[in-house]
Amino acid sequence: MTDEIPRPSDFIREIITEDQKTGKYEKRVHTRFPPEPNGYLHMGHAKSICLNFGIAQEFSGRCNLRFDDTNPEKEEQEYVNSIIDSVTWLGFDFGPEPFYASDYFDFMHRAAEYLISAGNAYVDSQSADEMRESRGTLTAPGKNSPFRDRSAEENLRLFREMREGRHADGAMVLRAKIDMASPNINMRDPAIYRIKRAEHHRTGDKWCIYPMYTYAHPIEDALENITHSICTLEFEDQRPFYDWLLERLAEGGLFRRPLPQQIEFARLNLSYTVLSKRKLIQLVNEGYVKGWDDPRMPTISGIRRRGYTPESIRNFCERIGVAKRDSMVDLGLLEFCIREDLNKRASRIMAVLRPLKVVLTNYPEEQEEVLDAINNPEDAAAGTRKVPFSRVLYIEQGDFREDPPKQFFRLAPGREVRLRYAYFITCEKVVRHEKTGEVIELHCSYDPATRGGDAPDNRKVKATLHWVSARHAVRAEVRLYDTLFTKAEPGEESGDFRADINPGSVEVLDSCFVEPSIANAGPGSRYQFERMGYFCVDKDSAGDKPVFNRTVTLKDTWAKIEKAKK
């Protein structure tokens, strides 16, 4: 009998388990997470991170963090730093240092010269338009380039001239020599090197030719002794070239067998969200959001700022599992995971977002009390805190109705309710603004015998309200976030995802009040505002006015839907 926690089961783990049994890689498991540093990581990347690092942990292997920095025009050190931070925040260890494709540029160049010498690559001087026309279609084969039969000597000479900067950008490319009639367009002599005069964030101006991603990636895997190269489904059609390239280089003695194997899985699609880096860049550059870490963004930095925990993200990725076909995941499942996590760990706090003044007319004006409040009913070890109480309080505007409907059980004229941890109060008078007629103040009486929230005569009330003492309250700004899009699949109907942007995706309330106990809470601190939702302190907090982001509401629609299915 064993106490081991069973591993998740999916087709990728089944492949690895079989490889372990046969000793294909001498029972080694070595994966990698290879982002391009041209943007911030998003939830789709989080799924890949959890999968690659998770598999490595489960099989006592290793996982490399490797930057595929082969496109210097779009890559920046800022993105490198953010990616390292996101992987670390999610709780994964990639070792002393990350790897970089640029570390292997010299080897890739030598490998390209070997392919030329072996007759497996040639320099093509066609224009980009000519190459595009000769490539063919899904139903028609391509046509050989007029330069395809250049001698190895001439191709080497031209490739070295490319390396020396003797030709203009776009004047020629190096192509693999495979089969222009292949039914897989990716095998029709794909380009593997291009001329690009651009400063690289790591190598500077050392190179004016750069390898294409599809050429660089399998070489990086082989050099790092990767066993299982786990990619998303869009790379499935590239797998034949992945295998072809490594086989050719192994034939020349550049790599030893067994070679890495590429395995594809379905990427994450999340409702009311876009997980395309191109679209996320548009949102940032066109000003729809306030940067990559805007709490409405599905970037790891964005959801982190919103208040999500690494544990909730890992749990979400485990729940959605790994599939071979694309599908849409309900955003409600992600929200369920963060509620489930924060319910266990977040301290409860009373906060009033839309304040309505309440004066307890029979409570002594100068008197103050300190009441005991439970920090977290799910965690006895969290203990209690002291909450100040005084004559003037704030409650939520929505907790009072002058003419209440039948199912409204909260405060109304002549009605008694409970104040959380405090007393029973009864509304006796409504004060209005002399010009607008708006209700601005309630005069209530309190029952001193009900301290702690229970009546000695066992009389019952139908509602318990949260509150904040006006004398002790700390003014705060609260940002209420909703989905960034109004449609589950943005752009599906209009063709432009931006047409479905939610104009009410954030509401800023700048006259809220919170308990004094969290006045100086640091950025990232998480709380449940009782009856209001889960919130975290934003980095914009400054001085004596904290700023809170709503992470998620208390309402859990996903769990109700799942329960109904059963």
Active site positions, annotated: 36, 267, 277
In the beta sheet, which residues pair with residue 526? 536
Task: Quote the tokens at residue 321.
Answer: 């599992």
Going by C-alpha positions, the residue among 198, 193, 231 that lies closest to residue 108 is 193
Helix (H) or strand (E) holding 209: strand 209-211
What order do you get walking across the sheet with 416-419 strand by strand?
Answer: 464-465, 416-419, 424-432, 439-447, 355-360, 392-396, 468-469
CA distance 490 to 487: 5
Task: Quote the tokens at residue 319.
Answer: 């729940």
Task: Quote the tokens at residue 40.
Answer: 């911030």
3-state secondary structure (DSSP) of residue 74 = coil
CA distance 536 to 551: 7
CB neighbour list of residue 3: distance below 8 Å, 6 or more residues apart? none
3-state secondary structure (DSSP) of residue 277 = helix
Q: What is the DSSP letter of 501?
A: B
Cα dist from 511 to 22, 351, 508, whole Å: 66, 11, 9
Residues 484 and 273: beta-carbon distance below 8 Å: yes
Burial class (CB in 10 A: 0-12, 13-18, 19+), 10: middle
Going by C-alpha positions, the residue among 184, 176, 179 that lies closest to residue 139 is 184
